[in-house]
């Protein structure tokens, strides 16, 4: 089968969040991946770290060991499978069990693979099985448990039937350490075998030199004990005779070199014993010019036992007479006789096999023994090429189980956009702020990742994860795609569950702040308005409080000054009362402020009072849209621009296309807390604050404001007496009032008397 497929292959694409991606639903799609334009691949490379994926499969794919899986390496894997599988259709299930009949029998590679698969099953006692699974090839101890040779170049003792060869292999393992055979047994390889026999030969040659020169072993087998006893006191004896020669040079040195009275006095306050280290520093015996060293008496008690051993094992045998006091000349004689042994011992070789007896060394030195072990290793290596196919069988099974998953996270991002699946770069779920964030990524460096991931336009929370029980730590980046951003802050704690089910303590260490939802955008302007009002009120109250405190402090200072003033001092002037003009101006200012507020409310009410209900509702909606509309529109564009590609690029991926996601998908990536279906709620809160008085006061104030506004607008004039009407009739000008018409006088009526003249 060749992966150079005809270019007539018909590709199918699926569309998600505006992105067209290639569908991989048939074996032919996988077979023809080499013909798919790489510009249409969603990713061009991915890291081998930080993924929820089989590490062994990634290692097999990463042929250049650079820590990245590139397109050519994926295509090479497909080429490798093409000559070993009868069809690519079996890859679609992603199973770690391979049917033997799916292995190709038309290519040499396929035939060899099938033979090895059957041999593995035979070694496991599954000769009749028609399938092979990953567990069958990963336990090599079971595969080779009943075989002597397995091609790894390591042979256990059981590889030989000769007891002498078995004993030699055991000696090599004991002295040089074991190599583990594929069967799981300890064994030896050629390198350790060669090192063993080289050490044996060197040891025998070194021992032969002692036998050839009698001066090396003047006491025979007892020479070693004599040399050891001499070495134990050599430095102190040299020190003693040197001090005596100094005393012969200058008599004054005898007392000084025997240690001072102060040195002896320092021992007086201690609990003395022969093993006290302070005593060891004193000379072996009293220092005098030309004095011999007493060996059995008058010696430093710390060194008494060592001198006795030296006397018994070295002095008596080497000097051949009973000597209880050693002279300087005799000491030199002993050193001269032991010098050849000391030189021979310093040149010791074959120390690795020193534990073996002389007879075992002679037995191991037989060339036939080495040749036999070397032949066993060679026979084992003859199967190396054949048994290397076991690795190929494992490669087939791992590709069969995992390659399809990787392609659906590489050629396309089908698993990212599937709510029932998990992408290989998702490492778990972060629970925080009554939300569950599923878009969590492994991060090596927070600052480096945040710098690149900021282009995603997503709200990102970087968290350090710890497990106190195991002292494990790691870092993740969590994308929050629903809810509110203002409830996230550095230092907030949560719980992270990885995909292995382990829980971690999570703490936010860095936030990349971006828009999260339209709901947040709607309330953001109102929140800012409320914050502004709250700030102004706080400033006003703070200024009033400061003024009141200042006034109180001034009054206290005045009272204190009055208390200490002389009796003849005139009484302090009483505080001035607010005069009429000041009081009037203050009241007027307060009235103007209330009037302005009332006029504004009244104007609004008067406008709405004459409108139909639907127009009133439209007006209220218009006000809401004017405040929240711009924020929501701007946020909508920002949310539409969110892109996961920069986050993955920061994780080491080479993402080839934009990975946008819709608002609906964002709500799936981050789920908010909701009550379970059919849950009931107890609405009465027994610990709620009593707000009845507050609510009554607010209700009365609102009603008063509404009535005042209606009165200011003149709406209530028909229900008010004339004196309280807002629109009272204007007063008539007396000059313009017409006199009532005078009735016509009767003809016979006498003319009216003229008014009396005013004096």
Q: Is residue 529 part of a domain?
A: no
| Strand (E) or helix (H) holding 647 | helix 645-650
Domain final position from 407, 442, 476: 407
Asked if residue 700 lies in contact with residue 692, where contact means CB atoms within 8 angstroms, the answer is no
User: What band does 712 get if pLDDT is binned at 50, 70 and 90?
Assistant: confident
Structure tokens that stand for 667 in this block? 């709500």
Together in a domain, 308 and 241: yes
Give the residue numbers spanning the domain of 103: 13-146+384-407
Dump pLDDT digits (tens) for 249-277: 888 888 878 876 677 777 777 777 777 87
Q: Closest Cα partner for 95 from 403, 390, 391, 392? A: 403
Claim to verify: residue 236 and residue 345 sit in the same structural domain? yes
Mean pLDDT of the region 484-503: 91
The answer on 230 and 338 residing in a single domain is yes
pLDDT in tens, 550-606: 888 787 777 777 666 555 444 455 544 444 444 444 444 444 444 544 555 555 555
Q: How far apart are CA 626 and CA 619, in angstroms?
A: 10
Contacts of 362 (CB under 8 A, 6+ apart): 204
Taking residue 473's Cβ as centre, other Cβ atoms within 10 Å add up to: 11
Residue 732 lies in a domain: no
Identify the H or E element spanning 607: helix 580-609
Do the domain assignments include residue 164?
A: yes
Domain count, the chain: 4
Residues 339 and 200 in one domain: no
Q: Which of 632, 651, 672 is the last residue of a domain?
A: 672
Residue predicted with more confidence, 475 or 16: 475
Instruction: Tell me which of 610 and 30 has the higher pLDDT.
Output: 30
Number of C-alpha atoms within 13 angstroms, CB side, residue 692?
1
Q: Rounded distance, CA 132 to CA 124, Å?
A: 11
Per-residue pLDDT of 651-701, as tens digits, reads: 999 999 888 887 888 888 888 888 888 888 887 777 777 777 877 888 888
Of 33-47, 62-76, 285-299, where does mean pLDDT reach its minimum? 285-299
Whether residue 236 is found in the same domain as residue 308: yes
- Per-residue confidence (pLDDT) for residue 754, from 0 to 100: 42
Strand partners, 98: 132
Among 110-114, 197-201, 328-332, 659-663, where is mean pLDDT lowest? 659-663
pLDDT band at 726 (very low <50, low <70, confident <90, very high): low
Instruction: Give me 495's structure tokens.
Output: 């719980």
Give domain status of residue 607, yes or no.
no
* Domain assignment present for 526: no
**How far from chain centre, in Å, is Cα 686?**
43
End-to-end alpha carbon distance in the chain: 147
Q: Check pLDDT > 80 for residue 607.
A: no
Question: For residue 570, is it within any domain?
Answer: no
Closest CA to 439 of 425, 457, 453, 450: 425
**For 198-235, what is the HEC assignment?**
HHHHHHHHHHHHHHHCCCCCCCHHHHHHHHHHHHHHHH
Residues 225 and 337 in one domain: yes
What gap in Å lies between CA 115 and CA 107, rounded to an integer? 12
Q: Which two tokens stand for residue 97?
A: 């069990």
- Residue 636 CA: distances (Å) to CA of 18, 640, 643, 670: 16, 6, 14, 18
Q: How are the residues of the chain apportioned to helix, strand and coil, as percentages rounded to the nearest 5?
A: 50, 10, 35
Residue 289 lies in a domain: yes
Instruction: Provide the phi-psi class of 17: left if phi over 0, else alpha when psi is between -120 and 50, else beta.
Output: left
How many CA atoms within 13 Å lie on the side-chain side of 373? 32
In contact, 135 and 146? CB cutoff 8 Å: no
Residue 91: pLDDT band (50, 70, 90) is very high
Confidence (pLDDT) at 58: 95
pLDDT band (50, 70, 90) for residue 547: confident
Buried b or exposed e, range 595-615, using 16+ CB within 10 angstroms: eeebeebbeebbeeeeeeeee
The whole-angstrom separation of Cα 457 and Cα 647 is 10
| pTM listed for this prediction | 0.61
Q: Are residues 506 and 651 in the same domain?
A: yes
Whole-angstrom distance, CA of residue 343 vs CA of residue 216: 9
**Whether 133 and 50 share a structural domain:** yes
Write out the DSSP string of 401-428: HHHHHHHTTTT--TTTS-TTS--TT--E
Residues 194 and 246 in one domain: no
Do 648 and 508 belong together in one domain? yes
Q: Which of 647, 693, 294 is nearest to 481 (CA)?
A: 647
The SS3 of residue 436 is strand
Q: What local confidence, expressed as pLDDT, does residue 78 receive?
A: 96
Quick one: which H or E segment has residue 68?
strand 68-70
**Distance (Å, whole) CA 47 – CA 406:** 12
661 in any annotated domain? yes
Residue 504 backbone dihedrals phi, psi, to 5 degrees = -130, 145
pLDDT in tens, 126-179: 889 999 999 888 876 666 666 677 778 899 998 888 999 999 999 999 999 999
Say if residue 56 is in the same domain as residue 139. yes
Structure tokens at 208: 């032969």
Do 41 and 110 fall into the same domain?
yes
Structure confidence by residue, pLDDT tens digits, 346-361:
998 999 999 999 889 9
Q: How far apart are CA 437 and CA 428, in angstroms?
A: 9
* Token couple for 346: 């310093």
């Amino acid at each position: 089968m060749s992966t150079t497929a005809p270019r007539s292959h018909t590709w199918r694409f699926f569309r998600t969040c505006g992105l067209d991606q290639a569908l991989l639903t048939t074996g032919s799609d996988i077979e023809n991946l080499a013909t798919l334009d790489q510009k249409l691949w969603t990713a061009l490379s991915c890291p081998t770290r930080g993924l929820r994926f089989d590490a062994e499969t990634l290692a097999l794919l990463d042929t250049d060991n650079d820590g990245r899986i590139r397109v050519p390496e994926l295509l090479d894997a497909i080429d490798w499978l093409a000559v070993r599988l009868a069809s690519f259709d079996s890859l679609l299930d992603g199973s770690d069990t391979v049917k033997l009949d799916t292995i190709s029998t038309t290519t040499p590679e396929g035939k060899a693979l099938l033979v090895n698969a059957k041999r593995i099953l035979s070694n496991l006692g599954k000769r009749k099985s028609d399938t092979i699974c990953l567990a069958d090839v990963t336990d090599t101890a079971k595969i080779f448990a009943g075989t002597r040779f397995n091609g790894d170049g390591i042979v256990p003792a059981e590889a030989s039937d000769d007891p002498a060869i078995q004993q030699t292999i055991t000696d090599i393992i004991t002295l040089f350490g074991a190599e583990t055979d594929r069967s799981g047994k300890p064994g030896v390889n050629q390198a350790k075998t060669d090192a063993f026999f080289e050490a044996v030969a060197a040891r025998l040659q070194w021992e032969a030199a002692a036998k050839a020169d009698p001066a090396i072993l003047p006491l025979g087998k007892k020479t070693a004990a004599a040399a050891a006893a001499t070495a134990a006191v050599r430095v102190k004896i040299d020190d003693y005779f040197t001090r005596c020669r100094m005393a012969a040079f200058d008599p004054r040195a005898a007392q000084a070199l025997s240690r001072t009275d102060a040195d002896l006095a320092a021992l007086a306050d201690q609990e003395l014993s022969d093993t006290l280290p302070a005593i060891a520093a004193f000379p072996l015996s009293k220092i005098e010019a030309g004095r011999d060293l007493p060996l059995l008496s008058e010696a430093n008690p710390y060194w008494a036992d060592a001198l006795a051993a030296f006397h018994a094992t070295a002095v008596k045998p080497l000097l051949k007479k009973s000597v209880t006091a050693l002279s300087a000349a005799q000491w030199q004689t002993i050193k001269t006789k032991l010098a050849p042994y000391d030189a021979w011992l310093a040149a010791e070789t074959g120390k690795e096999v020193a534990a073996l007896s002389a007879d075992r060394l002679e037995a191991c030195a037989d060339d036939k023994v080495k040749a036999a072990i070397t032949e066993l290793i060679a026979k084992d290596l003859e199967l190396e090429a054949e048994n290397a196919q076991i690795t190929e069988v494992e490669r087939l099974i791992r590709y069969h189980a995992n390659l399809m998953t990787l392609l659906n996270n590489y050629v396309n991002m089908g698993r990212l956009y599937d709510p029932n699946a998990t992408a290989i770069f998702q490492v778990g779920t972060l629970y925080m702020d009554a939300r569950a964030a599923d878009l969590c990524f492994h991060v090596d460096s927070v600052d480096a990742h945040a710098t690149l991931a900021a282009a995603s336009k997503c709200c990102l929370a970087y968290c350090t994860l710890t497990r106190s029980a195991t002292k494990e730590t790691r870092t993740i980046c969590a994308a929050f795609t629903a809810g509110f951003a203002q409830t996230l802050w550095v230092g907030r704690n949560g719980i992270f569950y990885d995909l292995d089910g382990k829980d971690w303590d999570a703490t936010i260490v860095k936030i990349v702040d971006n828009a999260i939802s339209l709901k947040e955008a709607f309330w953001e302007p109102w929140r800012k308005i409320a914050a502004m009002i709250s700030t102004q009120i706080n400033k006003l109250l703070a200024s009033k409080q400061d003024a009141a405190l200042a006034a109180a402090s001034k009054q206290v200072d005045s009272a204190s000054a009055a208390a200490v003033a002389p009796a003849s001092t005139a009484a302090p002037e009483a505080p001035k009362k607010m005069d009429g003009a000041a009081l009037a101006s203050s009241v007027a200012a307060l009235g103007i402020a209330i009037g302005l507020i009332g006029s504004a409310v009244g104007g609004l009410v008067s406008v709405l009072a004459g409108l139909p209900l639907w127009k009133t509702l439209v007006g209220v909606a218009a006000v809401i849209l004017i405040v929240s509309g711009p924020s929501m529109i701007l946020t909508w564009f920002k949310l539409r621009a969110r892109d996961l590609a920069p986050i993955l690029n920061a994780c080491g991926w080479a993402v080839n296309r934009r990975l946008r996601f819709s608002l609906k998908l964002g709500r799936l990536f981050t789920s908010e807390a909701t009550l379970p279906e059919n849950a009931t709620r107890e609405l009465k809160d027994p610990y709620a604050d009593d707000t009845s008085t507050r609510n009554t006061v607010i209700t009365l104030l609102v009603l008063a404001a509404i009535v005042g506004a209606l009165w200011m607008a003149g709406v209530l004039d028909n229900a008010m007496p004339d004196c309280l009407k807002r629109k009272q009739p204007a007063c008539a000008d007396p000059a313009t009032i017409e006199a009532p018409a005078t009735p016509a006088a009767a003809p016979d009526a006498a003319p009216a008397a003229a008014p009396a003249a005013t004096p």
